[in-house]
Amino acid sequence: MHREQGTGVGDQMISQVQTAVVGVSGYAGMELARLLLHHPRLKAVPPVFLGRSDAETPLTALHPQLMDNNGAASLKVEPFSWELLKERDVEVLFLATPHEQSREWVPRVLDLGLRVIDLSGAWRLKKPAHRAVYKFDDDGQRHAVAIQAKAVYGSPELHRDEIRGAELVANPGCYATSAILGLKPLTAGGWVDLARGIVCDAKSGVSGAGKAPTEKTHYMYAADNLSAYGVFAHRHVGELLEQLDLTDEQIVFTPHLLPIPRGILSTIYVTFREKKTAAEVEQRYREFYAESPLVRVFAAGQLPQIQYSVRTNFCDIGFTLHNDGRRCVIVSCLDNLLKGAAGQAVENLNLMCGWGEAEGLA
């Protein structure tokens, strides 16, 4: 990595870095490719795109929307190999791969001295009880425990300083990002009456289920429909519990499938321990996110909508406080493929390289 004085690792900013992406064929992978190709810091060093196919494929054959006049048409998705990572001097590797693949590959990637931003759920969870939903074969083994200890949960708003020096960043889940950012200022401040419980009712567009077609993401099922799923069993619940310091009895999280391509809206219901004014609640959010350029706090009583944040890298947060000063409804919206996945991954890259957190994003 080429370094200059700044705020990166060791008080230096990385001026140039070679990135690579594995898993560019999916929706989040496509958005990640688009963001990296247009990132102002990476114009001289386009990413290396790697796939699990045995043959090269033109990037724009997979994603024609990435065609531009700056050379994207010449880029290939090449067969993955460990030797190729060395030959191309890759320094930061993005894994937009299935959870099991990331779990298998990350140990070797770290052994090669690369830094990793993993978009899967392979390394997000510290507690074995929460990881059990993934049924990893190596869970509890010595090497997995050591790697898990290195992993930093990649929420810039919560772990900005740790991300800067991380070897392994575990990018958060999309639902988890929306719910955690909506709740963290309140739970961290001890405002919420946890004995009354928290309810998070979240809805996501169909792209949140990934590119592989299933019966429930089929047009004839999803169109003109709204359905709940993963009740008391969604894999993102563990992220909420760990990042918000809650127990399973203190929150109910229910995801729903919306008949739209992308976007998440989380409606969160809390009761405060003591009466608050709307001005106090708004001030709490604004102070908590004062240094977070990709969180937009709405004025008291104004609520976000998916259409405001979709195809942006922002998480929008608003609330309405009941006249009793204790019951509060928070609405948190984001694009599941951007702030909920690829955009947040690039935000983490910016922090790891000592660049502006929102560079190439806002």
pTM: 0.94
Find how far residue 102's CA is from the centre of its chain: 15
Min mean pLDDT across 77-91, 218-232, 254-268 is at 218-232
Identify any residues that bridge with 153 across adjacent strands, giving them in sequence order: 170
- pLDDT of residue 7 exceeding 50, the answer is no
Residue 336 has pLDDT above 90, yes or no: yes
Tens of pLDDT, residue by residue over 127-165, are 999 999 999 999 999 999 999 999 999 999 999 999 999
| H-helix or E-strand spanning residue 318 | strand 315-321
pLDDT at 6 over 60: no
Q: Distance between CA 257 and CA 206 in Å, rounded?
A: 6
| Dist CA 295 CA 343 (whole Å) | 13
- Average pLDDT taken over every residue of the chain: 94
pLDDT score of 10 more than 60: no
Nearest alpha-carbon partner for 84 in 59, 47, 34, 119: 47
Does residue 4 register a pLDDT over 70?
no
Instruction: Give the residue-averaged pLDDT of 187-208.
Output: 97
Output the pLDDT for position 52.
Answer: 80
Distances (CA, A) of 257 to 6, 203, 205, 230: 44, 6, 6, 10
* Residue 344 pLDDT > 80: yes
Q: What is the pLDDT of residue 110?
A: 97
Joined tokens for residue 263: 């976007």
Model confidence at 215, in pLDDT bands (50, 70, 90)? confident
The residue with tokens 């590119």 is 211
So what's the pLDDT on residue 1?
Answer: 55
State the catalytic residue, choosing from 174, 200, 328, 333.
174
- Is 70 buried (19+), middle (13-18) or exposed (0-12) by CB count in 10 A? exposed
- Give all strands (DSSP E) within 23-121, no chain letters: 48-51, 57-58, 76-79, 92-95, 115-118
Give the dihedral sign, CA 103/235/334/316. Answer: negative
Annotated domain spans of the chain: 2-172+341-353, 175-336
* Percent of the chain scoring above 70 in pLDDT: 96
In this model, does residue 78 exceed pLDDT 60? Answer: yes
Query: Using one digit for the tens of pLDDT, what is the confidence trace for 106-123?
Result: 999 999 999 999 999 999
CA distances from 313 to 156, 192, 214, 334, 353 (A): 13, 28, 27, 7, 19
Please give the Cα distance from 328 to 187 (Å, whole number): 13
> Which tops the pLDDT comparison, 283 or 44?
283
Residue 313 has pLDDT above 70, yes or no: yes
Q: What pLDDT does residue 2 have?
A: 55
For range 243-252, the mean pLDDT: 98
**pLDDT above 50 (res 242):** yes
Least confident of 23-37, 43-57, 255-269, 281-295: 43-57
Residue-by-residue DSSP string for 21-33: EE-TTSHHHHHHH
- What pLDDT does residue 5 have? 46
Tell me, yes or no, if 174 is annotated catalytic: yes
Please name the helix (run of DSSP H) or strand (run of DSSP E) that holds residue 227, with its range, or none.
strand 227-228
Rounded alpha-carbon distances, angstroms, from residue 360 to 8, 34, 88, 312, 342: 17, 10, 23, 11, 12
47 vs 23: CA distance, rounded Å: 13
Q: Would the CATH topology of 2-172+341-353 be identical to that of 175-336?
A: no
Check whether domain 2-172+341-353 has CATH 3.40.50.720, yes or no: yes
Class of domain 175-336: alpha beta
